[in-house]
Structure 1
């Protein structure tokens, strides 16, 4: 028995429907060649445009439909006699019409992009970085060296809130404490940890460059909502976003970043 599910909902099938031969294909070289083992597999399937399938695919046969099925991630699963043969992202490739009967041509792909679809929903705070320390003056100083996974930088300027007393020999000065330093995470270390968690290794000349290795981002994820407002009031600290930033690509597929996006 063949069953095709989209987002856990069973779809109607053509009468006497059989699966394409490539769904059962197996490349033995994928066990010996890592590059082939990570390659994507795509299988094209045909489903009738029945009323039930129309609700699943959001009336994709109607060009005036308000919702687009491909605009969101949908999981497709092919089950044969209770055994899952294929599981991955489902996309509508075309709507085919033959003898006044319409059919959905869908593609279910698995393999190379499945980990990316999973990671895009994973918060950065859950990325496992191989780092730990007891925060103190020594740890802060050591973090300023080359190749540090986490670098602690001051985000508060010296201030002189107490009025100056002309009779005093020394003007009031404020000594910086551990609380005045903010963690910044290496972008290179963060990206490598993301890929390694899924069993991949990044090979990139750009990531080996000095420019990329110097990139750091704010790393106080758990307390960002509580700390950013305080830091902004005290020193104009802007290493974080106060709200979500969105953008839309132009006709050439380009999105532009301006200073306003960062604030």
Structure 2
């Protein structure tokens, strides 16, 4: 039995137009994937009423390779069209790349600044048209041994600060039981259930309109890390670790890195 504590809202957009201007391919994909997800897993969604009207940016934790489908499902049912900013290597996978392009997803080339700027320009266009941009700020599946959110990259903060779009955290827990990290086969039985919650918009109002220094981006990024960690802790019913996993250091490090970054920026 599926539990949904939030009532889906009607489609929305800017200038009175619907945000859900989907291609036929997207509608076909949604028609196939949504019923399959409902059959394969139980779910409890909370807080869909917090999704903004018009364009917005979603940041989410990343514990399983099925995460994007679940988060996109919630955003779509909430009345918007999800567009992922995904690493460009996925677009080179035969079949998958063509599907991603057909569904109007956005490739991000991290090693090419020109292509990275082009991706940001496309994301801005999506937001201006009332669409939803979905970003995994960690950049990949969490490496934390206990699957807590790890240190985030600054891309989501940069996009939110430069566009002024609302920044909304979506956290979830339980998807890793259905498809564990790096597993190729889901665990179908017993039937699994996941919980997903839309959090309150991350407040960046005091940071907007200022030069995008490393210190400013670090502050905004730490707010993203905090929102995701607190959201996951609530879903798990546990206290989060005092330290946060740093992929580069391959260990947990103190969360308060902002002071060190301020010194480096001065």
Structure showing greater radius of gyration is 1
Query: What is the TM-score of this pair, normalised by structure 1?
Result: 0.22
| Greater share of helix | 2
| Greater share of strand | 1
Q: Which has the higher contact order (CA 8 A, sep 6+)?
A: 2
Query: What is the TM-score of this pair, normalised by structure 2?
Result: 0.22
